[in-house]
Structure formats: C-alpha cells, structure tokens
C-alpha cells in the first residue's frame, strides 16, 4: 500500500507543534500500525532526520502505552489498542492523521508521546489495598459470588491507556478511576478502605485537571478493554456514600 501520513510533530512541551506530511510506499497489510511507524522512522533516520517519538512497550495490547489519536479516534478505527491495529484496516492511497492524546492533564512530551503521570498519581492516592489480610490463604477460603468476582475482574482489565480521556469532550478520567475503584470495592479485601480510597482518588483526579463527566458514553465506546459505564455509576455511589458518612463533612 501507498499511504500519506500527516503526523503531529512537536519538539517539546513548550513548542507550538504542527502537522507534517510523510509518504510511505510498500506498506504491508500485515504490519501493525506501530510497525508501520517503525518503517517510517527507519527512513527518517537514514535521511538524517529526527524520527517520530511515540510511546510503546509490550505491543501485545496489555500495557496501554500505545496512545495515538488516529483519524480522529483514540487507537484508530477499531476498538482495540494501537499496537493491535493492523494496516489491513486501511486502504491503498489513504491519508492517515496521527496525533497525540489531547488533554490538559496529558501534556505532550514530544511528537506523539504524552506524560500520563496523572494516572500514576491517582493510583498512588488510593488505588491499592494496604490492610493486612494475613498470610496467603487458599483461593476458595474467602467466598465471593461469581457475579461479583466477574465484575471485579472486568474492571481490573483496564490498562490505563487514556483512550477514555482522549475520547471525552471534557477530557474526563471517570471511566479509568471508576474501574480502579470498582476492582477493589467489589471484593471483601478492599471494603475496609473503600471510603478513604474513593475520596482520595477522586480528589487527586480533580487536582490533575481532568474534566467533569457528562455521561455521553464516548469513553466506553472507545475503550479497547470495553470497560462498562456501570463502573462510573458505582463510583458515584461510593463517593456519595463516603461523603455522607465521612467525619470530615
């Protein structure tokens, strides 16, 4: 395939940035999107030009690093991670627009790479269990209903890629935070800290500058792991319960 790539180039967070056009020939339909960018970078390097910076790690749809905005959609035309998107999803002669996540809380580091440290700080605020539950017990020692276990597992599949933020017109992080709150709140081990956890994580989310949720559902529609909007409803209930029963009210 022959492709025209219009890629956002930005030297650093202070640079204004602009779209730059590149031409690629002989792109295989079996390449992943990131492999296609590797080919472009090899050509740029051979020409003595600065290669395009983009985030990547596992390239197996697990780590959530491959955060690219492709033709106006997070991760591209299919509900999957960018590294799992293949060039067969495009046609010969296509023009592809490639941009970084656009959010105040995700400042551009260089080109297509953004700083998603805001997510890390939200997790540090409360996305863990610190209660001593004793020695490791048998898997079936603590009875958990299958329906509850399944919901907790589904929430835990969130990879923190940030597609929910990129898809939201308000750059809200509610789907991410709700998934991280839900995976612990649903389980007995996480209930002891449920109030402290949700208050701390929501407070940190607000401090990072993410927007408010207006329930458009764009986040769930673009999430590569299909995290449910049900988690946002659960987060709202947990936060309301925590505030109504908090000693700080």
> pLDDT below 50 — which residues of the chain?
249
Q: Tell the CATH topology of 3-110.
A: Ubiquitin-like (UB roll) (3.10.20)
CA-closest candidate to residue 210, choices 120, 118, 79: 118
Q: Which neighbouring-strand residues pair with 32?
A: 86
Residues 123 and 32 sit within 8 Å (Cβ to Cβ): no
**C-alpha to C-alpha distance for 102 and 167, rounded to whole angstroms:** 9
Q: Which CATH number fits domain 116-244: 1.10.1060.10, 3.40.1410.10, 1.10.287.3610, 3.40.50.10600?
A: 1.10.1060.10
As a residue count, the chain comes to: 249
Contacts of 75 (CB under 8 A, 6+ apart): 66, 67, 68, 81, 82, 85, 161, 163, 222, 224
Query: Which residue in this structure is represented by tokens 């202070």?
Result: 14
User: In the chain, where does the domain assigned CATH 1.10.1060.10 lie?
Assistant: 116-244
> Do 105 and 210 touch, CB atoms closer than 8 A?
yes
How far, in Å, CA of 239 to CA of 131, rounded?
20
- H helices of 143-227, where? 146-156, 163-167, 174-185, 188-191, 194-207, 218-222
3-class DSSP assignment, residue 216: coil
* Mean predicted lDDT score pLDDT of the chain: 95
Ranges in the chain annotated CATH 3.10.20.30:
3-110
pLDDT of residue 143: 84
pLDDT at 248: 57
**How much is the pLDDT for 246?**
77
């Amino acid at each position: 395939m022959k492709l025209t790539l219009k890629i956002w180039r930005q030297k650093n967070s202070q640079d204004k940035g602009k779209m730059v056009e590149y031409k690629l020939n002989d792109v295989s339909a079996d390449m992943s999107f990131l492999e296609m960018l590797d080919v472009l970078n090899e050509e740029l390097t051979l020409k003595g030009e600065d290669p395009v910076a983009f985030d990547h790690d596992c390239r197996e749809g697990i780590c959530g690093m491959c955060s690219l905005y492709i033709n106006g959609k997070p991760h591209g035309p299919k509900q999957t991670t960018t590294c799992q998107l293949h060039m067969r999803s495009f046609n010969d002669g296509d023009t592809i627009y490639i941009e970084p996540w656009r959010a105040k809380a995700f400042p551009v580091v260089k080109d297509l790479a953004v700083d998603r440290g805001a997510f890390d700080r939200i997790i540090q605020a409360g996305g863990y269990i610190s209660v001593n539950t004793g020695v490791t017990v048998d898997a079936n020692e603590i009875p958990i209903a299958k329906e509850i276990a399944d919901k907790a597992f589904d929430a835990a599949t969130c990879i923190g890629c940030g597609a929910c933020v990129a898809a939201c017109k308000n750059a809200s992080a509610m789907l991410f935070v709700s998934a991280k709150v839900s995976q612990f709140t649903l389980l007995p081990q996480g209930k002891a800290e449920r109030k402290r956890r949700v208050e701390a994580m929501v407070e940190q989310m607000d401090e990072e500058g993410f927007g408010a949720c207006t329930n458009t559902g764009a986040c769930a529609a673009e999430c590569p792991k299909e995290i449910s909007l049900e988690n946002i409803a659960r987060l709202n209930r947990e936060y309301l319960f925590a505030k109504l029963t908090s000693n700080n009210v």
